Amino acid sequence: MQFYLRDGYLYCEQLSVKDILERVSDTPFYLYSAAQLRENFTAYAHALAGMNARVFYALKANSNPTLLVILRELGSGATLVSGNELRMALRAGFAPGNMLFNGNGKRRDELMLAAQHGVLLNVDSEFDLEHIIQVARAVNRPLDVLLRVNPDIRPDVHPYVATGMRNSKFGIRAERLMGFLDRLKPVPLVRLVGLHCHLGSTIKDVRVFRDAAALMGDLFNAGRDRGFDVRYLNLGGGLGIDYERTGVYPTPADLIGAMRGLLPDNATLIVEPGRSIVGSAGVLICRVLGVKTNGDRHFIVTDGSMTELLRPSLYGAYHHVGFIEPIDDEVRTFDIVGPVCESADFLGKARELPTPPEGAGLVVYDAGAYGYAMSSNYNLRTRPAEYLVDGDRLLQIRRAETFDDLTLTPLSL
Ligand code: LLP
């Protein structure tokens, strides 16, 4: 772990976070560890060693360009869900052939951009396929596509992050797949090269990936039997991380181990993890504004809030919370809340913590995935800066927004 406590002081790699806080001064901010990011990616590379396989990092989890360059240099490809993610991946130097554009509602201009660069495209529905055929004709070049299958597998996660169940808005139900093959057969400009599915996110039990690999392997073989040059089997992302800090949690090796024996020999496996690569590589650092009590609840009020980390408010998600240095005062049960004008604004509930003095540094762990990526300007708050530690170096990798960034429309009428 690259974020660790030594004598009660939080460190990120070789740097003390208390020192970083003194240098940075403006809170809240996100803090990432380059070493942790590399370790997390390398865990996938090792798990896949000797296999015909590729990792396509899911940019939606965190698309900071510096982090993207690190991952690209380690050999990652990219999974995208918007034209702007595509632009960001290009800017970070990903080769278009190592990118997959995925989504249930791709706009025509986004499809054009993907087509012009020769990015792999996922087909999500009948209308999506028709749009892709139109775009292939407009650019008059062959486009390689994967069909996104809705496998109807229950991943046992919060309903908002389950994506592969029967009534979900994503993908194509297996029984309708043959219709897509019939539609593609007479259209040589759109070439079917693979199949895709994504079960959901924060998955703790890797046995569901075994079910997915078995089903998708059968569909892969059916596609080949029908004469298509199907090569890629993309089984999505979704491996959870140990937010609760239990110490026992499935690793990328467990995930790949669950699927390995079930993949057709001629398939190139693609996995598209997001959280399990960036989640533990980032934290959110806040300052305590004060402590208060209402009714029978005690609150620590920080300058960080749901606008920097929406996951607790949106999914009731648990993120471990602590202080960046030892605090020797009465331990009480606190809710950790922000300044946003909304009772859903909390970072943690019912945590046993010492009573912090005003100004104390507070850390919310595992904020690297879907932290900045889901941040907002609610209450006209400005998005904070992002910093990266690499060994003993501290780099700002995105500046904080300013009030001027919020006034993009002319103020005079
Ligand atoms: N591939 C596809 C098609 C996806 O839809 C997703 C995530 C991923 C890969 C990456 O999943 P991961 O490995 O990061 O679990 N905002 C939520 C997560 C939403 C995930 C959406 N799709 C959260 O904060 O938990």
CATH assignment of the domain containing 295: 2.40.37.10
Is residue 233 a contact partner of residue 220, using CB atoms and an 8 Å limit?
Answer: yes
Q: Number of structural domains, the chain?
A: 2
Nearest to 386 by CA among 63, 26, 33, 32: 32
Output the six-digit token pair for 266.
């001629």
C-alpha 57 to ligand 1 mean position (Å): 10
Residues marked as catalytic: 341
The CATH number of whichever domain residue 226 belongs to comes to 3.20.20.10
390 and 376 in a common domain: yes
d(CA 313, CA 316): 6
Query: In the listed set 274, 290, 317, which residue is the last one of a domain according to the structure?
Result: 274
DSSP per residue over 28-89, as a string? SEEEEEHHHHHHHHHHHHHHTTTSSEEEEEEGGG---HHHHHHHHHTT-EEEESSHHHHHHH
- For residues 328-351, give the mean pLDDT: 98
105 and 233 in a common domain: yes
pLDDT recorded at residue 54: 98
pLDDT recorded at residue 85: 98
305 and 249 in a common domain: no
Mean pLDDT taken over the chain: 96
pLDDT recorded at residue 412: 63
pLDDT recorded at residue 404: 92
C-alpha 291 to ligand 1 mean position (Å): 35
To test ligand 1's pocket by mutation, which of 40, 80, 102, 201 has the most ligand atoms within 8 angstroms of CB? 201
C-alpha 207 to ligand 1 mean position (Å): 18
Nearest to 371 by CA among 349, 352, 387: 387
pLDDT tier for residue 343 given thresholds of 50, 70 and 90? very high
d(CA 255, CA 173): 24
- For residues 164-189, give the mean pLDDT: 93
Query: In the listed set 274, 296, 322, which residue is the last one of a domain according to the structure?
Result: 274
Which spans in 265-342 are helix H? Answer: 275-278, 311-315
pLDDT tier for residue 411 given thresholds of 50, 70 and 90? low
C-alpha 1 to ligand 1 mean position (Å): 23
228 and 110 in a common domain: yes
Is residue 314 a contact partner of residue 373, using CB atoms and an 8 Å limit?
Answer: no
153 and 22 in a common domain: no
DSSP 8-state symbol, 329: S
Domain, as residue range, for 308:
3-32+280-406
C-alpha 201 to ligand 1 mean position (Å): 5
Residue 410 has pLDDT above 90, yes or no: no
82 and 217 in a common domain: yes
For ligand 1, atom 19, name the residue with the nearest CA: 161
pLDDT recorded at residue 118: 97
pLDDT recorded at residue 413: 59
- For residues 3-21, give the mean pLDDT: 98
67 and 137 in a common domain: yes
56 and 194 in a common domain: yes
For ligand 1, atom 24, name the residue with the nearest CA: 370
d(CA 115, CA 132): 9
Pocket of ligand 1 (CB under 6 A): 58, 60-61, 79, 102, 161, 163, 198, 201-202, 236-239, 272-276, 311, 369-370, 374
Structural domain includes residue 413:
no
C-alpha 198 to ligand 1 mean position (Å): 9
pLDDT recorded at residue 347: 98
Structural domain includes residue 99:
yes
Structural domain includes residue 22:
yes
For ligand 1, atom 16, name the residue with the nearest CA: 370
255 and 346 in a common domain: no
Q: What is the number of the ligand 1 atom nearest to the C-alpha of 374?
A: 16
- For residues 187-198, give the mean pLDDT: 97
Query: Per residue in 28-84, pLDDT tens?
Result: 999 999 999 999 999 999 999 999 999 999 999 999 999 999 999 999 999 999 999
Q: What is the number of the ligand 1 atom nearest to the C-alpha of 163?
A: 5
Query: In the listed set 244, 274, 304, which residue is the last one of a domain according to the structure?
Result: 274
Structural domain includes residue 411:
no
335 and 261 in a common domain: no
* SS3 call for 101: strand
- For residues 186-206, give the mean pLDDT: 97
Structural domain includes residue 318:
yes
Q: What is the pTM of this model?
A: 0.97
For ligand 1, atom 15, name the residue with the nearest CA: 238
Residue 409 has pLDDT above 80, yes or no: no
pLDDT recorded at residue 166: 85
pLDDT tier for residue 408 given thresholds of 50, 70 and 90? confident
Structural domain includes residue 399:
yes
**Higher confidence at residue 175 or residue 192?**
192
Query: Per residue in 213-267, pLDDT tens?
Result: 999 999 999 999 999 999 999 999 999 999 999 999 999 999 999 999 999 999 9
Phi, psi (degrees; rounded to nearest 5) at 184: -80, -30
Nearest to 195 by CA among 209, 183, 181: 181
For ligand 1, atom 7, name the residue with the nearest CA: 201
Structural domain includes residue 412:
no
Measure Cα distances from 132 to 84, 152, 178, 293 in Å. Answer: 18, 25, 18, 57
pLDDT recorded at residue 63: 98
Structural domain includes residue 390:
yes
Residue tagged 């009020």 (tokens): 301
266 and 233 in a common domain: yes
325 and 176 in a common domain: no
pLDDT recorded at residue 286: 98
- Bridge partners, residue 233, by sequence: 195, 269
66-84: b (≥16 Cβ within 10 Å) or e: bbbebbbebebbbbbbbbe
Query: Per residue in 84-142, pLDDT tens?
Result: 999 999 999 999 999 999 999 999 999 999 999 999 999 999 999 999 999 999 999 99
Which spans in 125-281 are helix H? Answer: 126-139, 177-184, 207-225, 252-260, 275-278
- Report how far Cα 23 is from the mean position of its chain's Cα atoms: 29
Q: What is the number of the ligand 1 atom nearest to the C-alpha of 238?
A: 15
To test ligand 1's pocket by mutation, which of 44, 54, 59, 60 has the most ligand atoms within 8 angstroms of CB? 60
Q: What is the number of the ligand 1 atom nearest to the C-alpha of 314?
A: 24
HSE-CB at 55 with a 13 A cutoff on CA atoms is 25
C-alpha 357 to ligand 1 mean position (Å): 37
Percent of the chain with pLDDT over 70: 99
